[in-house]
Structure 1
């Protein structure tokens, strides 16, 4: 008697698939096209439910557009997508791994173990001399604009939904995904938009954008109840003008200093989940993988609440993928992050658009990541996601940051974060009884050294912007949120504040933030760490400007604050009103329309934790309306609780306030100790408030050497492209540094700098390959020379 499944097969006129001992139903036996039955054993083309093996030393070109759902594909040879036609592959799992296979599984079996242990050097080794590759285009020959290539990932009943569907690249495998290039994937708006508008003016012309493409116009004026980024399609495009398929519902700023963005979400190469409402897929690179991604769309991927199941995931690859990159990708509608760099160094992520994520978007996972470059990316709508079992950093609530990282030795440049639920940018590393932040960190010579990661300064953070955020523009956190935000009314609370662990970088290696713009946020900038250099910081249209700062070794240069309604320049530690050390602000401009005695532009810290805390200002400019000029003080006690201080007070000095060498000292009326210097303390119109007084003082020394930065770190160099033509190698790459790069060489020959911005140098060189391949390195203006150059070997 036939069983029901067998009867159904018989009625359909199909034979059940024969599964070999190693788990496959069909395998390649020669090079050729997927559609050619002669390259397969058995001699037919793969069909629904097949378990396919692309055998070692065979190369198959995928040249069909099929609705059949292939169960799984193991790529031990080469599987490349055709570039002369449209292709669609529907599949459960793809595993890229050389050698003979024992099973046809997904290849993600050990992720949980690695994700929890974070061990280094505990990896499966690639098989010598054997390579496997999955190619949807290559960097040299991307899928052309005239054609499309798509992989749709399906969950197959009976598979493990915590791991499948997936594309996984194992040691020795290469996974390349390259669509038609665009000169820009997103640009600033060129004119403001109002509700009902259908045409959008761009700030620059773009190439590679097409009619029918999906675009987003990022959020306009902030509304806590409604996120207003709007998605449309391109109906027409001419020069800098795009016509949308339907009118906009909200206004969007596109003129002047503060402007939104328009981004393209479409690509001609796509990897997506076939059922976004069901079991979603993910992709992963393992250690000793290879490959890069450019101008591809990753849509509806990421498994909600599942550790390690992300749209694009570099999993504990260390420096084994040095030279790989993600450029111009659109990561759309993710249920678990956009790009995750985990235990990985020397990665380039550039010109990518992340739109809609559960959990942090561009995410560096465990605090060992260094020398990575995140340049000119756009992060839109990273929303709160669930905490996940086994998370590397247990203090991370996964509450929705456009960019989130825990090790300062990475470069963030020219990025924009907008419309994210909690943060635009959050740097955070914490020590606790549950987590030891002394971790093995790669050193410039390639060795590992156990270091308290909190002491590693933010290496390069320059030309970044955050706007229209749910709460914070940027947070630099030394201890998370564990500092009590309570008024210090007694010795018990004072002792609690004194016990806060403020471990951070030292005064010779401070955090450095340059050219930061934050507008339209609740809390603009929270510099919650000691020893920070902050140059050219622009804060506009927020409720709080400099918020809850850890005032100790802060050096601000050119701080411009405008239209910050509640607390433009907060006192130390907010309601704790405590300051541990000296800070300086050289160049402070306020542009405000209205205020009152309870809302001064600058708040006085009441509690002097060290006994030598002080604040120094010079070159202060205040622009405010005459209506509020006299009733709105520049300096007064704080907005929150004003309790009697139980320590000495914290003075504020404004250098040259009354003229050259005529300084002013401003104190709280509650700080009686500060007024015992024999000076006459008076109310000064527009300067002091109802609980502050001022006296002219002389010979106050400017804290010139508050921080003493020393550059003793070499640059980092990444070769991103090599092409051999006529016996010479055309080499391109990226070098970055915490200061200025003055020399880049490839095999001893000087490279040509193609462009340079925010510390990131793009270069090229044409050299004769040496016997050992290529060697690229950089030198900075302090004379620091890379000791671990990027080496590229040529294998015969």
Structure 2
């Protein structure tokens, strides 16, 4: 294991055997390449981020991360079939399911079936022990029924997400106790091209700007993307886009995550495309229930107050609205949201939370004063589905 790795030139993983890199952090000024868009990596490649030396502060990007300062991150695994749907209902007690498309899925892979109940915690993860065409045998029976029919023209079939990827970035297992996971952060002039990658034990709980993957004040991100990835069992968010425009976030699966998941941060961000992402089991806290703000009519709450603000004032969330966590936190209408699924948030599926002017790093600036997200025309919001959430949609 390394105490840290600084890349000034180019480090590329050979694709002739399985490889592992274990390090406290990676500081990337040059290029880190595991596969390319044209030629994805086919062997297993695992980067494990440790935390044996606590409290390091690397160029304003913290610790235990892949931290990109003017460099380029190319991570490309060989999976593109991130999720599908059940072909028929899977009854409680069965260990066999049929799906619409199991292409690229393999014995040993971990999958997750979404809840089709009002309870988002009826999502279930299982491992594949046998597969024949689109028929899958699971390692143990299902505890719950997962609906698999189209009724009266409404597609109510459970989604089935694939969590396994051959290229993985993770924190070491101690993160499950500290909730201080790994993170990937791209600063201005940096570039990220990420596909077919698994991110787990990532994000640093209750710590700003330390998320599983995070474009931070990059400006124009045209051509950059995260797609066909799985992001699961994380401690703070999923994909954060901050002060960055024109990215593509496509065909990703998230599961068992904390706080707003697909997070558009300050309301200045435009031109980003969120297409066919599946978010499963978005939580407000690691273990506690949400404490959402009560927006009911006067007298609806037990204490007679119109707004219950204990969740807003909580010290146990990163920002106040995380106590009403959303799978898709949307702060500017000038972005594309197409064919996404919010399948089981403890609080909110899609939240259109447009500020009067952009906030955070842009608050009070001339750019912020000139931007009026609440008055902008809503961009494309089409084909999106919310089910098994406390609230499917809030605006």
Q: Secondary structure at the match of 1:419?
A: strand
Matched, 1:328 2:228: yes
Q: Secondary structure at the match of 1:227?
A: helix
- Equivalent residue number for residue 264 of structure 1: 162
Q: 2:27 aligns with which of 75, 86, 95?
A: 95
Label 1:236 to 1:452 Cα distance change in 2 as closer, same or farther (>3 A).
Answer: same
Q: Is the 8 A contact 2:326 2:350 kept in 1?
A: yes
Q: 2:15 aligns with which of 83, 88, 111?
A: 83
The structure with the largest alpha-carbon Rg is: 1
1:132-171 maps to which residues of 2 (within 5 A)?
A: 132-144=30-42, 147-160=43-56, 163-171=62-70
- The structural deviation recorded for 1:287 is 1.1
Distance 2:312 2:34 in 1: 34
Label 1:344 to 1:388 Cα distance change in 2 as closer, same or farther (>3 A).
Answer: farther
Q: Is the 8 A contact 2:79 2:165 kept in 1?
A: no
Matched, 1:208 2:140: no
Q: 1:403 aligns with which of 325, 328, 344?
A: 328
- The structural deviation recorded for 1:220 is 2.3
- Equivalent residue number for residue 317 of structure 1: 218
4+ residue stretches of structure 1 with deviation over 6 A?
386-389, 434-439
- Equivalent residue number for residue 146 of structure 2: 252
- Equivalent residue number for residue 344 of structure 1: 244
**Deviations 1:579-623, CA, capped at 9 Å, x for gaps:** xxxxxxxxxxxxxxxxxxxxxxxxxxxxxxxxxxxxxxxxxxxxx
Q: 2:127 aligns with which of 226, 233, 247?
A: 233
- Equivalent residue number for residue 217 of structure 1: 113
Q: Is the 8 A contact 1:400 1:421 kept in 2?
A: yes
Q: Secondary structure at the match of 1:367?
A: coil
Q: 2:391 aligns with which of 472, 490, 514?
A: 472
Distance 1:79 1:394 in 2: 37
- The structural deviation recorded for 1:230 is 0.2
- The structural deviation recorded for 1:201 is 0.9
Label 1:397 to 1:158 Cα distance change in 2 as closer, same or farther (>3 A).
Answer: closer
- Equivalent residue number for residue 272 of structure 2: 372
Label 1:387 to 1:238 Cα distance change in 2 as closer, same or farther (>3 A).
Answer: farther
Q: Is the 8 A contact 1:360 1:398 kept in 2?
A: no
- The structural deviation recorded for 1:449 is 7.4
Label 1:394 to 1:236 Cα distance change in 2 as closer, same or farther (>3 A).
Answer: closer
Q: 1:356 aligns with which of 242, 256, 259?
A: 256
Label 1:194 to 1:154 Cα distance change in 2 as closer, same or farther (>3 A).
Answer: same
Q: Secondary structure at the match of 2:324?
A: coil
Q: Is the 8 A contact 2:24 2:53 kept in 1?
A: no
- Equivalent residue number for residue 451 of structure 1: 371
Q: Is the 8 A contact 1:307 1:388 kept in 2?
A: no
Distance 1:202 1:451 in 2: 45
- The structural deviation recorded for 1:394 is 6.7
Distance 2:366 2:262 in 1: 23
Q: 1:190 aligns with which of 80, 87, 96?
A: 87
Q: Is the 8 A contact 1:437 1:453 kept in 2?
A: no
- The structural deviation recorded for 1:406 is 0.6
Q: Secondary structure at the match of 1:222?
A: coil
**Deviations 1:726-773, CA, capped at 9 Å, x for gaps:** xxxxxxxxxxxxxxxxxxxxxxxxxxxxxxxxxxxxxxxxxxxxxxxx
Q: 1:281 aligns with which of 178, 182, 185?
A: 182
- Equivalent residue number for residue 303 of structure 2: none
* Length, aligned pairs only: 356
Q: Secondary structure at the match of 1:454?
A: helix
Label 1:382 to 1:302 Cα distance change in 2 as closer, same or farther (>3 A).
Answer: same
1:222-621 maps to which residues of 2 (within 5 A)?
A: 222-223=118-119, 227-256=121-150, 257-275=155-173, 276-277=175-176, 278=178, 279-319=180-220, 321-385=221-285, 396-431=321-356, 450-469=370-389, 471-476=390-395
TM-score (norm 2): 0.85
TM-score (norm 1): 0.43
- The structural deviation recorded for 1:254 is 0.6
* Higher-RCO chain (CA-CA 8 Å, sequence separation at least 6): 2
Gaps of 5+ in 2: 286-310
- Equivalent residue number for residue 175 of structure 1: 73
Q: Secondary structure at the match of 2:332?
A: coil
Label 1:394 to 1:210 Cα distance change in 2 as closer, same or farther (>3 A).
Answer: closer
Distance 1:74 1:82 in 2: 19
Distance 1:398 1:327 in 2: 28
Distance 2:243 2:64 in 1: 23
CA-atom RMSD in angstroms: 2.4
Q: Is the 8 A contact 2:333 2:354 kept in 1?
A: no
- The structural deviation recorded for 1:387 is 7.8
Q: Is the 8 A contact 1:305 1:336 kept in 2?
A: yes
- Equivalent residue number for residue 12 of structure 1: none
Label 1:345 to 1:431 Cα distance change in 2 as closer, same or farther (>3 A).
Answer: closer
Gaps of 5+ in 1: 1-68, 98-131, 442-447, 477-796
